Structure 1
Amino acid sequence: MVNKCMILGHRGFSAVYPENTRLAFRKALNLGIDGLEFDVQLTVDEVPVIIHDPMVNRTTDGHGLISSMNYLQTQQLNAALDKPEHGFQTVPALHDVLNDAYEVCPEGIYNIEIKVYNDDWKTLIDRVVTVTGQHPLRKRILFSSFHHKCLEYLKASYPSFEIGLLFDREIVEPWYIAKQLKAYSVHLDYQFTSEDIISDCHAKQVPVAVWTVDRPEQIERFIHLNTDFLISNVPDVAKRIRENFANA
Structure 2
Amino acid sequence: MTATTPSLRTARTTRVVAHRGASHEHPEHTLEAYRKAIADGADALECDVRLTRDGRLVCVHDRTVERTSDGRGVVSAMTYEELCAFDFGGWKGEEHRGARVLLFEDLLKEALAADRPVGLAVETKHPTRAGGRLEAELVRLLKEYGLADGADGRVEVMSFSRNALTRLHRLAPGLPAVYLVERAVRPPRPPFAGHAGPGIDLVRRDPGLVGRLRAKGLRVRVWTVDEPEDVELCVRLGVETIITNRPRQVREQLEAM
Q: TM-score by structure 1 length?
A: 0.90
Q: Share of identical aligned residues, percent?
A: 29
Written as runs of structure 1 = structure 2, the 5 A alignment for 1:15-34 is 15-34=24-43
Instruction: Check 1:133–1:105 CA distance in 2 against 1; reply closer, same or farther (3 A cut).
Output: farther
1:181 Cα offset (Å) = 3.0
* Superposed CA offset, 1:190-242 (max 9, x none): 12124432223223321101011111111122123221110011111111110
Among 145, 160, 164, the alignment partner of 1:150 is 164
1:158 Cα offset (Å) = 2.0
User: Contact conserved, 2:88 with 2:97, CA < 8 A, in 1?
Assistant: no
SS in 2 for 1:37: strand
Written as runs of structure 1 = structure 2, the 5 A alignment for 1:54-133 is 54-83=63-92, 84-104=94-114, 107-133=117-143
* Superposed CA offset, 1:164-211 (max 9, x none): 11111124xx7x934x43102111011212443222322332110101
1:106 Cα offset (Å) = 5.1
Among 213, 234, 255, the alignment partner of 1:243 is 255
Say yes or no: does 1:221 pair with 2:233.
yes
Among 185, 188, 194, the alignment partner of 1:177 is 188
1:135 Cα offset (Å) = 1.8
* Superposed CA offset, 1:74-97 (max 9, x none): 222111132231231111101100
* Superposed CA offset, 1:118-146 (max 9, x none): 24321111011111123255431111111
Instruction: Check 1:162–1:97 CA distance in 2 against 1; reply closer, same or farther (3 A cut).
Output: same
AA aligned to 1:192 is L
Instruction: Check 1:32–1:217 CA distance in 2 against 1; reply closer, same or farther (3 A cut).
Output: same
- Farther-moved stretch of structure 1 (199-208 vs 61-70): 199-208
Instruction: Check 1:212–1:135 CA distance in 2 against 1; reply closer, same or farther (3 A cut).
Output: same
AA aligned to 1:238 is V
- Farther-moved stretch of structure 1 (192-201 vs 57-66): 192-201
Q: Which structure 2 segments of 5+ residues have no match?
A: 1-9
Equivalent residue, structure 2, for 1:163: 177
Aligned-partner Cα distance in 1 for 2:210–2:59: 30
Equivalent residue, structure 2, for 1:53: 62
AA aligned to 1:12 is G
Among 21, 30, 37, the alignment partner of 2:46 is 37
SS in 2 for 1:104: coil
Equivalent residue, structure 2, for 1:5: 14
Say yes or no: does 1:205 pair with 2:213.
no
AA aligned to 2:161 is H
Measured on the aligned residues, the alpha-carbon RMSD in Å equals 2.0
1:37 Cα offset (Å) = 0.9
With CA pairs under 8 Å and 6+ residues apart, which has the higher RCO, 1 or 2?
2
AA aligned to 2:249 is V
Aligned-partner Cα distance in 2 for 1:78–1:183: 37
Aligned-partner Cα distance in 2 for 1:78–1:137: 31
Aligned-partner Cα distance in 2 for 1:211–1:230: 6
User: Contact conserved, 1:98 with 1:137, CA < 8 A, in 2?
Assistant: no
AA aligned to 1:46 is G
